[in-house]
Structure 1
Amino acid sequence: MSISKRLKLSMVMITCVTVVFTTLLSFLLYFYFSYQDLKANTNNSLDRSASLVENKINEIDILTEKIQFYSKSTYDLMTDLKKYSTENSDYSKNDLYYTGQEIKDIFKTLMYRMEDVNFMAIILPNGSIISYSNTQKDFISFYNPLRSLWYNQALEKAGDLSISIIPNNSIITDSEDEQVLLFSRCLYDFYSKNLLGTIVVSCEPDFFNFMTNDFPDKVIDFQLKDIDSNESLFQKNTDSNLTSTTTISKNINTNRQPLSLSVQIDNSQYYQLFTALIIGNMFILSITFIFIYLSASRYAQNFSLPIIQLAKTMKERAKDNDILSQSKIAEEERNDEIGILYSQYRQMLSTIDNHLIDQINYEQSLLKAELNVYKNQIDSHFLYNTLESINSLAEIKNIPEISNMTLALSSMFRYASNGFNNEATLEQELKNVSDYLIIQRIRFQRQIDFMNLITNDELYHAIIPKITLQPLVENAIFHGLNRGGIRGKIRIFANLRQNALIIRIFDDGLGIDPNHLNVLSNDLANATKLVRERENHIGLINIQARIKNYYGDDYGLSIYSNQNKGTLVILKLPFIKEE
């Protein structure tokens, strides 16, 4: 696709996306704030309804307690019911008749002006029912409630109020195809704890209908549910065809029989508004698209024509010269943006060339530095077997110097030829130095005064390049102590500084001539270059090249020396602790 077409397409897309984004953002903000307001109003109404429901349940609770503790000068309900307890069956029909009349009088008094209550009853422990009704509704004849689910739920409450719903009514007269809402409470003797009877209050199915009042218009479904049994005690749905709703719920009556009061919010109006916005937005986009396309075509032609001409020129030169040479590009003398493009392209080619050269040099120096470490490795099995044979002969001949030397040499070769693992811990490096010193002490037949003054145990687990310290100690012996010809001290220190590991190796030997020290410092500064150009070079150059290739120019070797006073080599490495 040409740049002109891309520019036109980009302008059209940017404009269209902006219009769509603005429209959607406006709708989302409207939806969010209006929905939050609706949700807040719904929560407030839900709180009020929850309070009313609890008050209504409290009224029934108080009503059953009034029945339980009802007494007058000539009659006490709890005392009278004791004759019907499970442990007492010594009563006559006259007793039952008399009790029924007294209980009905109590119910008649308490049910005055209670429009929502259909009837009240007391079920005796043997299943007999004594009831009173203001309406035509009552338990059907010969109904035995003792095996009913609602009755057993009341027994489980052990004296607390129980709320039950019977979805398919088959126990109440004159209420076919209606749900039955029952409130029940078991009565127990205070002393013997025997069951005396069960109070039942039957209410209209729309007993909780009051809770649907004072809600926003978009609230379309109400439900009161028993949390434990998952039974719906009350449900009212004003529109069952809606699919886009949000449910808000609140738990009530938690200290007795936990109930869940929930409502559903109708979101369909928002989706209808969103559909209308989409249709309007499509119309606006169509008009905008035509206008922007015409404007973009004109603008793109004026803007992209010079770039197209530049691309054509570069393509023609590529055919003639295979690549665009920097000299050819530099010949284009222009002061406008096109001239800048020519100049920047030439600089880009130069940068790529330099980068490729640096990358190749880096890879070569890294490879050569690694090869310099391992080029003297030989067949390890042959070498180890040979050294073990020498050690065995030395032990047989009782020549400990040869035995110690071969063991130390074997340990050094094993360490150096341990695969292509380029790193080791500081502790392993110091062990390699110790093996090296064993060989040199036997070789020069004198004690070399070497001391490890590293006191921080944590540093021994630091990771450093392999075979780094031994060449530095070797330089101190051969150059500082004149191949062991003079007595001197070699000390090694280490510490942490700003998350860098600083290792110092000091000898108080001959020191380095200032001119030679200057040459050596320059060689260290150019170590990564020299390691590629020289076939033979000192170990310091190889160590410096490896460190800079591994960790960068911030790390490496530094040498300080005073002639006839000694030399200090400082090795700076990143502090990487062994895992």
Structure 2
Amino acid sequence: MKKWYYRLSLRRRLWISFLMLTVLSIALTGLMSYWIAFRSTEQEAFISSQNTLNKSARVLDEKLRHIIVTTSTMMLSDAFKSAMEDVYSHSSGSYYTRLSSMQIPLGQMKLIEPSIQSVLIYTPAGELYATTDHRSQTSFKDTLFSRYLDSTDRVIWVEDHEDPLFLGNQRVISLIMKPITDLNVHDAYVVVNVKEDAILSAITDDLLVPADHYFLVTGSGEAVLPLGSRSSSFQRDPEFMKLLQRQQRGFFKYNMAGSPYLVNYSRLTLADNWTLVSVQMQSDLLRQVNRIKTTTLWIMLCCAILAFILSNVISSLLLKPLHKLQGLMKRVEQNNLDVRFTSKYEDEVTQVGLKFNRMLEEISSLIEDVKEAEFDKRKMEVKALQAQIDPHFLYNTLNTIIWKSESSQNQDVTEMITSLSLLFQLGLNGGNEMTTLAKEIDHVRQYLNLQQKCYEGLFDYTIELEDDSLLDEPILKIILQPLVENSILHGFQEMEGMGIIRISIIRLSDSLQLRVEDNGAGMDVQTVKADMRIEQSLKKSYALRNVYGRLRLHYGSEADIDLSSEPHISTSVTLTIPLAGEGYNDGDRT
């Protein structure tokens, strides 16, 4: 009997198993019916909660918009414009006149928008505020608002806090706006403190469930308003906060401490870093479906027990060879090619397993051949890429040496020849592709010294190293020089002022970051990125492409180049490479 069973095909054994499991079809039908009802009810619960949440978010957005509009209207008043003219002309003699004239616009703001608690207009010529509000002794720039003053945003909302500007210890949400004026006014800000209760009322007035189910947070998980106690555990969960950033609004299911929750969220438009979130336990929303589930489970209990016994015993018996083969395949996925399949059966799975064994043997042999061929290919490609870089700047350097020699500038000639000698000595590096960070820094310093002689008064440079312990780190040679060459040749040639090159080197968690930044003419980042990743290009500029190719050939996908450009302000090329022993395996072989 056992031998007969072993000779059965897998198809025959599965047919026998399916015949035995047919009796469970009714139970499966019941489960599917319950599942459909469950999913439908759950979807309706999501949509209903989302509609309520979206309405509250729109109400809050409208409240914030009205506050911004009210503040902007105040800035259009003649009194405010006169105050800005004093700031622009650095005149403080009319301070008390301006303070008096601003009382009407500030009073009108509170009448138009009753939720406004207080307003402070900070200027270098003096602070302007409603005299009915009692100003505290705390300097404006010593408060929590100081961290927002360097922001480029014209409108900034600050989360719930105790008002540091006026007496009374009121809990407020603050709006920071830069003045709306035609004048080039610096260091002037309008701070509008909004009553916390007014914002709470805007959110909770139309809610169908208690406010304890809602919370308003920033993208980093900080509470904007204390709406409920349940929110804290979710705000401390990084995975939960990450899900809130996927879209502008939506819903999802989330498990916390073993309990499923239905989560709806909607991001505000006027404070796009603020998100209104609703969190409700799934059991609270699906009580009616849970009653159906309980009844169905009692009806299906006997069938479930029988199905559990039969399915486990039969599936484990029939599919054991497949599970074994599947397990071997997973081990192969983990680069373990030494596994082999064995079985006492004589069915189709066994035949597949034997062919699987032969395939592994052939793959192992081919991998060894490919490794050797790929290694030789990569070495030759690295040397070919490097060869394109070395002569690129030599022509101008030699011409400058000749010119200075004919002009009897012997000291400059001596220094340039010395730098050129050191440059080649460091570049050759004894024929090794790898050098140390210290030598790479010295190499690019010699290059920059040469270029300063060639282009006198064109640029200056600095090299900043975060930690001297990085100097001994191994690094691919000649990767900084092509980057500074680009800055000089393409960034500074048409500049009227002095060019600045800043080289900074820092350690990240498991990698090294090298950044070359200049204030030159900049670049089209998208075009350069596209050209950089093309192995063969008709364009003459190949420095970035060569550096990118060498990094990828040596370090693989763990190395990358990032570009950014703001013409005549900051154009940077950032290299990220793994530290020794991190992210690559061929460093010793190259």
TM bracket (short chain):
0.3 to 0.5
**Please, what TM-score do these two structures have when normalized by structure 2?**
0.33
* Bigger Rg, which one: 1
**Please, what TM-score do these two structures have when normalized by structure 1?**
0.34
